[in-house]
Homo-oligomer: A and B are copies of this chain.
């Protein structure tokens, strides 16, 4: 594939970090699926085919190299060299990283920036802040104010906040800010019972503190691991929340969205403060990313769609996502030109917006 889309510079507005240590076949395979345990051979999937197609040549192997050859060559090169090569091949100018998931097993943000050869900015996970506040032993009636202070402290240099309400409960919650008394009562309950943050009142409280903070607020929506009920993670369930936050001026950014990306595109059209991406899907669906992109663009204003990989742990996933995106842009937007629906100048401008321009404006990254 040589295409005009190869030259697009990407801003990956939502990803995680990479593992710094060597992985055996089982460890590598487990990162090719959202299942807790893969059923069958995890390479037998669109993602597995894409890794063999896209990453093998970067490690000096022929396209479609068998998994065993791939893993052997990767071990031979070493994790650091393989990571460096794979990330460099993505053509990414900046990474916005949620480092709130298994951070201990992944490279730190400075190390990631070094490996990627690109600046890294941080996205702060609201639920991680809440859990740290709770773990600090704060009195329940001080929980709310302490959370706000801690969030301010942690986001001093961050570019966005992020909510994983979809994983911890679902979007079937009242859209309004919860009352202070309800927050204090829920904090008392949580202190007594412990565990991860799953209380819907406290989750909404964190979400609204994210809105108050004013940074773009990313929400995991759609496809993910089996901790969530997929249908309760449908972004369209956030319609009333979008209505309730329209006047605040805080951007709401819907992540992933698949297979509900047509509904997400509607939200992005009808609410001026809503953006979205089809990250994660681009990685997993491989060859089909063109169709997913085309569906997302049916209703989406071109200024509202962002690029992300949502890659986690494997540098392969950053590259698969980037290549899937470039190929999709080539097929979909290039197809508009080929069929006379748009001219080349417009299409190059629109492609650059989606690849990085929209994210640069939204997050103020350069």
Contact = CB atoms under 8 A, between A and B. Distances in A.
Interface of A: 1, 33-42, 44-46, 49-50, 52-53, 63-64, 223, 225-226, 229-231, 234, 236-237, 239-240, 242-243, 258-259, 262-263, 266-267, 269-273, 281, 284-288, 291-292, 294-295, 297-304, 335-336, 339-343, 346, 350, 353
Contacts of A269: 33-35, 45
* CB-CB nearest 7 A-B residue pairs: A40-B303, A39-B272, A259-B262, A226-B270, A285-B298, A44-B302, A64-B343
A340 B270 contact: no
A294 B294 CA distance: 15
Contacts of A285: 298-299
Contacts of A295: 288, 291
Contact of A304 (B40, B292, B301): B40
A53 to B, nearest CB: 6
Given A229-B240, A234-B231, A341-B286, A294 B297 contact: no
A230 B284 CA distance: 27
A301 B64 CA distance: 18
B304 A223 contact: no
B340 A53 contact: yes
A231 B236 contact: yes
A312 to B, nearest CB: 15
